[in-house]
Amino acid sequence: MTLPPSPEGALTEAMAAIAPPGVRTGCRLIGDADEAHLLPEEARSISARQPAMRRASGAARWIAHRLLADIGIGNVAIPRAPSGAPTWPDGIIGSLAHDDDMAVAAVARVGRIVSLGIDVEPAQALPDDISAIVATGADRTGAADRLLAGRILFCAKEAVYKAAYPLDREILGYEDIAVDLDAGRATTKTGRKVRLAYCVAPRVVVLAFVGE
């Protein structure tokens, strides 16, 4: 008998299928003791955060440490800068995200892609009041699953923000990002063009990337 894939196994496959060449992704169900995966410099950089956030940050960094080790970069800290953005080793770009249960990370060597963003969300409809804040007339959700379109849009805007911030240092609101899901593109109010790829099962994950 073949067992169904675990939530982590299914999401690992789904993310690998949407990642552009050279971008490595991973996920981890957040565990009660995941704060222990923070390296000392990382723990210091988020010392003021709530325990649940520290666990989520520890889970995300556990993934990122492994992804970096896979490309030969071992035992390197990814502290959180005062802006909130993670600080990557020289020559590396990446992004982290967590929902209540799952953490995800994406990393790559700087190359044709010069910045990355990722976000993860449960595969559930976005409440109407939040949709009203997130969606604008400039957004196009096209052929996306109708139930999940608002959630994908929300996830896309957060991923775009994380990819754009390290380049532009601009704080953006939802209204500052126009998304076209079918085209796999977004544009920020600063004119930054960002590419998008997404999956919806077993969770909504959007990868945003700047470059070719």
Give least dist CB 146 to ligand COA, A: 22
197 binds ligand COA (CB under 6 A): no
Of 37, 65, 98, 195, the one binding ligand COA (CB under 6 A) is: 98
Closest CA to 30 of 6, 3, 63, 79: 63
Which residues in the 134-163 window bind ligand COA by CB under 6 A?
Answer: 157-158, 161-162
Nearer Cβ to ligand COA (100/128): 100
Closest CA to 115 of 143, 141, 93: 93
57 binds ligand COA (CB under 6 A): yes
Q: Which residues of 182-195 are buried (b: 16+ CB within 10 A; e: fewer)?
A: eebbbbbeeebebb
Complete DSSP assignment for 126-190: PPHHHHHHH--TT-B-TTS-TTTHHHHHHHHHHHHHHHHHHHH-----GGGEEEETTTTEEEETT
Which residues in the 8-37 window bind ligand COA by CB under 6 A?
Answer: none
**C-alpha distances in Å from residue 33, one per residue of 36, 39, 47, 131, 192:** 6, 14, 16, 34, 39
196 binds ligand COA (CB under 6 A): no
Taking CA 108 as the corner, what is the angle to CA 17 and CA 184, rounded to the nearest 5 degrees? 50
Of 83, 132, 170, 201, the one binding ligand COA (CB under 6 A) is: 83
**C-alpha distances in Å from residue 36, one per residue of 30, 52, 118:** 12, 12, 23
Give least dist CB 3 to ligand COA, A: 29
Of 24, 55, 80, 151, the one binding ligand COA (CB under 6 A) is: 80
Nearer Cβ to ligand COA (6/83): 83
Which residues in the 159-188 window bind ligand COA by CB under 6 A?
Answer: 161-162, 165, 171-174, 177
* Residue number, nearest CB to ligand COA: 84
Of 14, 19, 60, 116, the one binding ligand COA (CB under 6 A) is: 60
Binding site for ligand COA (CB under 6 A): 57, 60, 80, 83-86, 96-98, 119, 157-158, 161-162, 165, 171-174, 177
